[in-house]
Amino acid sequence: MKNIIRIGTRESQLAVWQARTVQQLLGGEGYESELVYIKSEGDIDLQTPLYEIGVQGIFTRSLDIALLNNKIDIAVHSMKDVPVQLARGIVQAAVLKRASYKDLLVYKESASFLDDLQGSAVIATSSIRRKAQWLHRYPHHSIENLRGNINTRLQKVKDNSWHGAIFAAAGLERIQLRPANCIELEWMLPAPAQGAIMVVCREQDAFITGACTAFNDAGTALCVQIERDFLKTLLGGCSTPISALAEVFDNTIVFNGNIVSPDGVKKIDTSATVPLHNAADTGILAAREILEKGGREITDSIHHAAK
């Protein structure tokens, strides 16, 4: 009997798009598969800001449990949602070629309020990273919580009196919902692994590992690993204001990272340019530099506030 690979996915339009993309890639390699829909904790509680929930893997834990209980064979995740430490018994099977890593501001009527650096505005996001970077640049603005899937969040922007809201470009573009009334935030560093899709499976599942090998993108996998090493070394998670971006240019890794205090007041940056063959430890070394430059004070205050 031919193995039919069971692909676990959340039920949102974006999650299903990602799972179907993996299904198509598997099909191109001659494998049959089916989607298995699983609701995550992050999809159930849509009111509490993510940084207040403080749960690692809130969008991935239900899929992890299904995987370990052999209800699915692989799980497909937005990689920025995946904890830096995978659950015991689960391993990375593939990382797809990265899409846009950028953040977008979707604005209501115009973005002219950004020209007035002393003016007031209300911006919506549930991301503490986006909140911290925004407040560092626009300290006179206010931040409102925005939860839900992409469709829900876009509707909330229309229904509320906010000036705008911040979205990941990749999510909007993948399901063809990027609106005309948006601008790319070139100055905002992304979350580690933003724009990348991760496929995980059970440890020592040679059949699944072999099936996914063909569509693993080595360049993306290296870049996001560097970014996640940076996050892990700073003892950060999905609900910490840590940003990182590694890119490949002509056999060179160019890395930029930062940590910002949640109120946006303090910001510490780091950057590095490293030959590709010597880039494996770039994220770890960059994180240590951040800590030495004063980042430890920020991380300590965040961890103290979380207790």
CATH value at residue 244: 3.30.160.40
User: What tokens appear for 282 in the block?
Assistant: 């770039």
pLDDT at residue number 51? 39
Q: How many domains does the chain have?
A: 3
Residue 54 has pLDDT above 70, yes or no: no
pLDDT digits (tens, 9 = 90+) for 210-243: 999 999 999 999 999 999 999 999 976 656 899 9
Contact 303, 262 (CB under 8 A): no
Which of 64, 73, 81, 229 is catalytic? The answer is 81
User: What tokens appear for 300 in the block?
Assistant: 């300590």
- Selection from 174, 219, 221, 176 nearest residue 198 by Cα: 221
DSSP class of residue 201 equals E
- For residues 259 and 270, what is the distance between their CA atoms, to the nearest angstrom? 9
Same domain, 40 and 86: yes
> Could you tell me where the DSSP H helices lie in the chain?
13-28, 41-44, 50-53, 61-68, 128-137, 150-159, 169-174, 206-213, 218-233, 282-290, 296-306
Q: How far is CA 107 from the centre of its chain?
A: 22
Same domain, 146 and 270: no
Residue 110 has pLDDT above 80, yes or no: yes
pLDDT at residue number 303? 75
Same domain, 283 and 243: yes
pLDDT at residue number 41? 54
- Selection from 98, 266, 257, 113 nearest residue 193 by Cα: 98
By mean pLDDT, which of 76-80, 81-85, 234-238, 259-263 is the weakest? 234-238
What is the DSSP code string of 9-23?
E-SSHHHHHHHHHHH
Same domain, 81 and 145: no
Same domain, 165 and 285: no
Same domain, 116 and 88: no
Average pLDDT, the chain: 90
Domain assignment present for residue 150? The answer is: yes
pLDDT at residue number 26? 97
Residue 277 has pLDDT above 90, yes or no: yes
More confident residue, 304 or 96: 96
Beta sheet of 122-124, edge-to-edge order: 142-144, 122-124, 164-168, 103-107, 182-184
Domain assignment present for residue 58? The answer is: yes
- Selection from 45, 31, 35 nearest residue 8 by Cα: 35
Verdict on whether the full-model pTM lies above 0.85: yes
More confident residue, 117 or 72: 72
Contact 276, 248 (CB under 8 A): yes
Contact 16, 174 (CB under 8 A): no
pLDDT at residue number 47? 46
In the three-class reduction of DSSP (H, G, I as helix; E, B as strand; rest coil), residue 197 is classed as strand
pLDDT at residue number 53? 32
Average pLDDT of the segment spanning 116-138: 91
Same domain, 57 and 201: yes
Same domain, 201 and 269: no
Contact 203, 68 (CB under 8 A): no
pLDDT at residue number 97? 97
Residue 25 has pLDDT above 60, yes or no: yes
Is 281 a residue of the active site?
no
Contact 128, 106 (CB under 8 A): no
pLDDT at residue number 116? 74
Same domain, 73 and 91: yes
pLDDT at residue number 67? 94
pLDDT at residue number 1? 41
pLDDT at residue number 119? 82
- Domain with 62, as residue range(s), is 4-96+196-216
- For residues 219 and 214, what is the distance between their CA atoms, to the nearest angstrom? 14
pLDDT at residue number 92? 97
- For residues 252 and 247, what is the distance between their CA atoms, to the nearest angstrom? 8
pLDDT digits (tens, 9 = 90+) for 150-203: 999 999 999 999 999 999 999 999 999 999 999 999 999 999 999 999 999 999
Same domain, 253 and 297: yes
